[in-house]
Amino acid sequence: MLDNATVERLISGYNSPVPRYTSYPTALEFVPLDDAALLDSYRKCEPDRPVSVYIHLPFCENLCLYCGCNVLLSRKIEVLDEYIPLLLAEIKAKTDMMEFKPRVSQLHFGGGTPNFLRLSDWNRLFAGLHQYFAFTPDAELSVELDPAVLSDGYLTHLKQLGFNRVSYGVQDVTPKVLEAVNRPQDVQRIRDIVAESRALGFSSVNLDLIYGLPHQTNESYKANLDFIAELKPERIALFSYAHVPWLKHHQRRMDEKALTEPSEKLKIYLSARQAFAALGYEQIGMDHFGLPGDTLTEAFKNKTLHRNFMGYTTQKTLDMLAFGTSAIGFVSGVYMQNHLKLSGYRSAIETGKNWFEKGFVMSAEDRLRHEVITQLMANFRVRFSDVEQQFGIRFADHFAAELERLKEFAADGHGILDEAGFTTSETGSFIIRHIAAVFDAYRKGSGQKAFSKAI
């Protein structure tokens, strides 16, 4: 556990806005794209390489005030009668461009609230998915669910469709915090749902927690840690709350004075990290924890972990096909984001043109820097020889200025820099976003309010 002086030094030196690097270049660099980028990237996909598929289900009945996702509020279930056909039409149109039936090794549904869907909607979706895709025998099928609105029999149906991983948004179990962020939930119901998930044979259960919300303190957060100790999920996602009310206006409805102070916020993270370690969890990247034997845990131990818009993943450089409003895909070196508004999304599908809200075509330099940043964010290290062999460069020459910056981090005790590479220390893992930002060619101090603070 870090002493108070070290905590305060980290706060004073590094509690500034910096990207989370779920992509590089970040979404801040995305620009309008023409349809040729979509056609070119999809037609470059290789039939022998499996793909990853993300499907965005944006609807929520209730707006949680901390939310940073792209959601559409609705209590009218009839919106699905329009959305599901549009989703299937998009999947058909884009897979037709590939001129072969893609093989899927990862499928993930996020939101929004995926369990806003009716069971009949899932049946219709999966009929289409099996029509347009082939699934590998060991494919991971995962879904994010809100336990507060999970009806009886829902999990059984999803398991029958083939889902093998499930994630529940818990965020906090303290009534005062839940009230402050407008997220009503029954904690006992979560216990029952996790037990049901295991009884049904889901291979992995993940629980999401957030730290930095109103009224959270290092003392009060122990209730969440006790809850984890009781349920022992295979994975934990411990997210730092991103307070960006200039981007997400609903966050203004929270009492900003009640938000956790930076020093207390870091203490919560350190206490959680220590508690999880005592339970047998191993840290995975900057904000995930897994039990021994979990595929992400093993990937981190073997330094083969990777990172994309779905978070941490065991599979590298998969083309990620993304469907639904606001969904961001990555195909053959091109980032592409669908329209955020349902009207724009509908128009793109009905006309077969103007597919994008925005996107980005990567250059060779972008790919190189993406690899370095991903290695740091996912595995807390970069080996120079690996990068040199992959890209045909001499690391010391190509990144001479960046290495000078890494020397500063090493001198401050945040990592070890030698001829073989750079590996973070314990404190370096806490500020990994700042270390990764050394290699960000686009980060020049402007537009930084688009990012959350690092601590």
Q: For residue 120, what is the domain's CATH number?
A: 3.80.30.20
The predicted pLDDT at position 14 comes to: 81
For residues 91-116, give the mean pLDDT. 94
Provide the token pair at 358.
């925005």
- What is the chain's mean pLDDT, rounded? 92
Domain extent, residue 396, equals 1-17+363-455
**Measuring CA to CA, which residue among 373, 315, 409 is closest to residue 104?**
315
Q: Name which residue leads in pLDDT, 446 or 399.
A: 399
Say whether both 159 and 71 belong to one domain. yes
Say whether both 290 and 399 belong to one domain. no
For residues 187-206, give the mean pLDDT. 96
Say whether both 1 and 46 belong to one domain. no
Q: Name which residue leads in pLDDT, 17 or 34.
A: 34
In a domain, 129, yes or no: yes
- Per-residue model confidence as pLDDT tens digits over 320-362: 999 999 999 999 999 999 999 999 999 999 999 999 999 999 9
Say whether both 119 and 169 belong to one domain. yes
- Per-residue model confidence as pLDDT tens digits over 12-29: 778 777 888 988 999 899
For residues 113-137, give the mean pLDDT. 97
**Per-residue pLDDT for 266 more than 90?**
no
Say whether both 7 and 73 belong to one domain. no
Q: Name which residue leads in pLDDT, 199 or 311.
A: 199
**Per-residue pLDDT for 454 more than 60?**
no
In a domain, 211, yes or no: yes
Query: Number of structural domains, the chain?
Result: 2
For residues 289-297, give the mean pLDDT. 90
Say whether both 30 and 11 belong to one domain. no
In a domain, 165, yes or no: yes
Task: Quote the pTM value.
Answer: 0.92
- Percent of the chain's residues with pLDDT above 70: 96
The predicted pLDDT at position 13 comes to: 78
In a domain, 404, yes or no: yes
The predicted pLDDT at position 312 comes to: 79
Say whether both 294 and 407 belong to one domain. no
Say whether both 378 and 396 belong to one domain. yes
In a domain, 332, yes or no: no
Say whether both 9 and 78 belong to one domain. no
Say whether both 254 and 401 belong to one domain. no
For residues 301-327, give the mean pLDDT. 81
The predicted pLDDT at position 316 comes to: 65
The predicted pLDDT at position 433 comes to: 92
**Locate tokens 């779905």: which residue?**
310
Domain with 455 in it: what CATH number? 1.10.10.920
**Per-residue pLDDT for 447 more than 50?**
no
The predicted pLDDT at position 455 comes to: 59
In a domain, 448, yes or no: yes
The predicted pLDDT at position 446 comes to: 41
- Percent of the chain's residues with pLDDT above 90: 78
Cross-strand pairs, 383: 421
The predicted pLDDT at position 444 comes to: 64
In a domain, 73, yes or no: yes
**Per-residue pLDDT for 311 more than 80?**
no
In a domain, 342, yes or no: no
Say whether both 422 and 380 belong to one domain. yes
- Among the candidates 300, 319, 338, a domain finishes at 319
Say whether both 33 and 10 belong to one domain. no
**Per-residue pLDDT for 215 more than 80?**
yes
- Among the candidates 293, 319, 345, a domain finishes at 319
- Among the candidates 267, 302, 319, a domain finishes at 319
**Per-residue pLDDT for 129 more than 90?**
yes
